[in-house]
């Protein structure tokens, strides 16, 4: 009981004594300078960062459509830009459209890829980077599009040029022993 009274008395004395209060770890002059820097950051950098983030999110469906070689990626691009104008209301539609291929597009046009896809593969074929089965598949797809009458003049030229394209030499097959030998050689050099 005596200890309790003593500790209460010490606590009362400690509370009665004035203590130094420090609102900041910085001196007042430096605190004003730091507040100015923080204010400039909030006024300038945060809105710019928010605008950049908003833009990056809104062009995401366009990037997805481009990566997936969506046949209507130009329309998705337009919808993304319209979504910026309408405050993002059209963005979910662009997002869904980027992941969904049009149902009747292949039957109508003979393909479900954008024209850029064929130009990329055509460039690889002319450089000799496509394997024989990839080159044959590209020729078949262009032939199917020609039958539907949906070849653009550029794709007609590409189709004609693919007749002279030479497939790439097949890479040697990797066997487990070759892999083990490569790992052992790498460890020996390290």
Pairwise CA distance, residues 111 & 105, whole Å: 7
Assign 13 a pLDDT band (cuts: 50, 70, 90): confident
Q: Are residues 41 and 96 in the same domain?
A: yes
Q: Where is average pLDDT lowest: 26-30, 37-41, 165-169?
A: 165-169
The answer to whether residue 190 scores a pLDDT higher than 60 is no
Assign 97 a pLDDT band (cuts: 50, 70, 90): very high
Q: Are residues 38 and 95 in the same domain?
A: yes
Mean pLDDT of the chain: 83
Pairwise CA distance, residues 112 & 108, whole Å: 10
pTM beyond cutoff 0.75: no
Pairwise CA distance, residues 79 & 73, whole Å: 10
The answer to whether residue 188 scores a pLDDT higher than 90 is no
Structural domains counted in the chain: 2
**Domain assignment of residue 121, given as a range:** 110-162
The answer to whether residue 160 scores a pLDDT higher than 50 is yes
Q: Are residues 96 and 155 in the same domain?
A: no
Q: Are residues 90 and 123 in the same domain?
A: no
Residue 12 lies in a domain: no
HEC letters along 168-179: CCCCCCCCHHHH
Pairwise CA distance, residues 3 & 185, whole Å: 76
Residue 88 lies in a domain: yes
**Residue 123 confidence (pLDDT):** 86
Q: Are residues 51 and 76 in the same domain?
A: yes
Q: Which two tokens stand for residue 20?
A: 């130094």
Pairwise CA distance, residues 106 & 61, whole Å: 21
């Amino acid at each position: 009981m005596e200890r309790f009274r003593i500790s209460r008395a010490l606590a009362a004395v400690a509370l009665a004594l004035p203590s130094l209060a420090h609102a900041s770890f910085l001196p007042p002059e430096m605190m004003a300078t730091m507040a100015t820097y923080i204010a400039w950051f909030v006024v300038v950098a945060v809105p710019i960062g928010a605008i950049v983030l908003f833009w990056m999110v809104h062009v995401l469906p366009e990037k997805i459509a481009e990566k997936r070689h969506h046949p209507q990626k130009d329309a998705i691009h337009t919808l993304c830009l319209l979504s910026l104008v309408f405050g993002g209301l059209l963005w979910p539609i662009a997002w869904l459209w980027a992941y969904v291929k049009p149902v009747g597009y292949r039957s109508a046009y003979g393909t479900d890829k954008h024209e850029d896809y064929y130009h990329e593969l055509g460039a690889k074929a002319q450089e000799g980077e496509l394997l024989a089965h990839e080159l044959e598949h590209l020729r078949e797809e262009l032939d199917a599009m020609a039958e539907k009458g949906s070849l653009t003049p550029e794709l007609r030229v590409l189709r004609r040029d693919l007749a002279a394209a030479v497939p790439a030499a097949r890479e040697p097959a990797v066997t487990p022993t070759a892999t083990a030998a490569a790992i052992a050689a790498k460890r020996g050099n390290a």
